[in-house]
Amino acid sequence: MTGTGPCDTPRVEGAVDVVALGESMVAFLPTRPGRLADVPSFDRSIGGAESNVACALAAAGHSARWVSRVGADGFGDHLLDAVGGWGVDVSAVRRDPARPTGLYFRTAGDRGTDAHEVAYYRAGSAASVMGVANVDLDAVRACRVLHLSGITAALSADCLGLLRELTAPRPGRPLVSFDVNHRPGLWPDAAGPGVLLELARGADIVFVGEDEAHGVWGVTGGPEQVRELLPEPEVLVVKEGARGATLFHGDAPGVFQPALAVDVVATTGAGDAFAAGFLSATLRGLPDRARLRHGHLWAAAALTTPGDLAVPPARDTADRLAAAADEAWGRLRLGPGWTQADPRAEEEVPTP
């Protein structure tokens, strides 16, 4: 492992808890179901894997900074206001007068269905030219945890060079968290799998879906085979969908924790919420089982909320639920509004 160990993320003077670097876009969400060609109007929102993580962590009381580039336009103003409104430090986001802020439109259906449509307008965006020369590297590195994703690496050669610089081993490097986030449509050639493997091997904490590992690297043997492919990260989290997630920490055998039963409203943003919950527990020095359970709880908050972003559960509520006995954990079922409830015991979480 390079950098600071995942069980030891000391506070450094002037540093924030987490820096998340990556492109965020203004998202237009339909006001009713239907094809993009048929939807008459859209509500404006924001979308970005890395800023989602920063927003969730800031909402939970951690100090978080988002680093990116946006256009010198109204949509860039909206992104800064929206992300900053969650309590995230946006002072290191740079404005580009020559390139626009990225946009996308999507349909209301679940993105896992064939009917789901997404139209991206991000080619040539301000964020797509992020690189070593035009990003404040001091602001990026002044943190306990630096969160990155494979989406950024796919945007341009400059973006890939920046991620290679940030994942390179160096003294005093912050703990590097990397979510593989494979997006096949963003890669212009067949280089994606190899690049993502290289970046993951340079990180300290890696998040990857079991199905994602199969699709990008051809892994067919489950979480253990993913670990065989990625022995370098000190911590590897293999997400197994609705079944749960397995954590590999150092040379220890994998630790599995089942996911919660959830009345799903929307799946968008659940992976980012899981990563944020896991990183929150890591920053707090919680044990491995609790890290996974906090990931599941924060994902449940996103799954039971429409849109990409959800306020995470209150810390005392999440700690109480994460400490439940296995049988009580298995009985939990969470529905919309559960994060505003005040459960008195693990098995009494209401499902509105």
Element (H, E) at 254: none
User: 64 by DSSP, 3-state: which?
Assistant: strand
Cβ–Cβ < 8 Å for 112, 87 = no
What sign does the CA torsion over 9, 249, 332, 211 have? Answer: positive
DSSP state of 248: E
What is the rounded distance in angstroms from the CA atom of residue 216 to the CA atom of residue 221? 14
Write the single-letter amino acid at 30.
Answer: P
The CA-based angle 285-10-17, given to 5 degrees, is 80
Catalytic residue among 272, 288, 308, 316, which? 272
- Per DSSP, helices labelled H in the chain are 49-59, 74-85, 137-141, 150-155, 157-167, 192-201, 210-217, 223-229, 270-283, 288-303, 315-322, 326-331
Residue appearing with tokens 């109204």: 74
Nearest to 56 by CA among 287, 270, 333: 270
Alpha-carbon distance values, 124 to 101, 161, 177, 284, 314 (Å): 9, 17, 27, 39, 39
Alpha-carbon distance values, 71 to 29, 36, 100, 248 (Å): 21, 25, 4, 40
Active site residue 272: yes
Nearest to 345 by CA among 329, 337, 305, 297: 329
Structure-token pair, residue 292 = 């996974």
Cβ–Cβ < 8 Å for 128, 155 = yes
Cβ–Cβ < 8 Å for 326, 301 = no
> Annotated catalytic sites, by residue?
272
